Chains A and B, each alone.
Chain A
């Protein structure tokens, strides 16, 4: 119960800070929308090749902007010394990891919903009840992406070359998430039968559980010098 309280206290603080410094939200959203606009110009709407590329386009626009938020999530704490202040307190290090994951996840989900809306409008997609099944895929895939990203962001926060190292590390580990998320989206957008959708979601959930558990257990060794 104490850990839950600590997670909530730290998550609430992160959400308040994000709400007060709106620039990070707007910058991340703008980056995602820009990716969609570029793809929209590059691929002609209504053409079969474009239709086949839609799942990939969507996931590039959903995942790439997340790098900005994840990379910044510990940087601000490190610069202001507040990470040390939190580590001085009797907070469970695993609780710190989970709170960062939760606040990053909420942030990315908000961004993702705007991007999904823009994706639907720009590529002229029909909004059917089946289309909304994409939302749970985004929720589950973002959780794994956030778990890995939060763990690596904490690992590289003291490195001088973190802007370069972080995306390379992150994307090399989340390949299974990208493959599963794109495949699940292909099922929804391109196929008549939802034959393997359940399997892809199971893979995403398994990945979430593994990385959230691993992060919770090893975070102590990541943040203490």
Chain B
């Protein structure tokens, strides 16, 4: 309890810096989900240094695209292109075109020459088309061979792209067919692993829905705690949660990470999670108000926090262990989610211990409830 002003001070500083950055500085890095735009995850056949990538996109006047490397090795990137703000009325098709321009810009001269001379790209070709191609010279094997080749290409090891024709051998294809493929197909320089396009209309709507969901969840919890405890606890808990959400978003702005749908899901989870901690403490307060009647309110709060402290820390540690595992091993797609959870778990624990009870004492000082805060 004695640290309440220190804690409050730190929180206020973090929130103020974070939000100053959002409102006056770099702003929030809203991802494709909310701003509208195209996200393309591309894997290259050979290394493609990020500077060259930037150069190639710049040449195609796509310089404003954001490029993010996936794993080390300069072979896989996530590229995000947005339409400018004033193009909000544009249809989704405009975004799709932007995406196509990105893909066009990154094609190599070899790709173009090969495609122009009528060869098919074995790294893009779909099952049916490959089947037709093989059937022309090997009708009996067409189905099995096409499946084997496509499945091999899609395997976790190759990640959707053949680097050279030798790799085809592990699909067990016969040497003659390999020769045919070498003559009639080429290995394109890239494959598109993921492509997401969100129209501005949907983006705006998702933003609205995300805000609504968060606000309604907070109201729902306020009501539940109001019923199970007392209104004062509800308000203190909700303020604690609002604190967590504000801090998390603030840190997001500072680290310039992207806010997308999974991140919103993570924030909602933090709301639930942090409340979990807060409730455990409040529950103790509720119990202690019955047992330790003589104790003054601030010391009673202190006692309650200390009694639950080991539990709070253990649970936070186990949860933190799991989200850190997710952060390290979960891969690129879930990385932002895991990052949010890590911040959230830390702030959630901190705020439950230092903020929630302080807020209760403030409530008691300001409103001086006649019946006290017991139930």
Binding partners A and B: no
- Chain B residues close to A by CB (< 8 Å): none
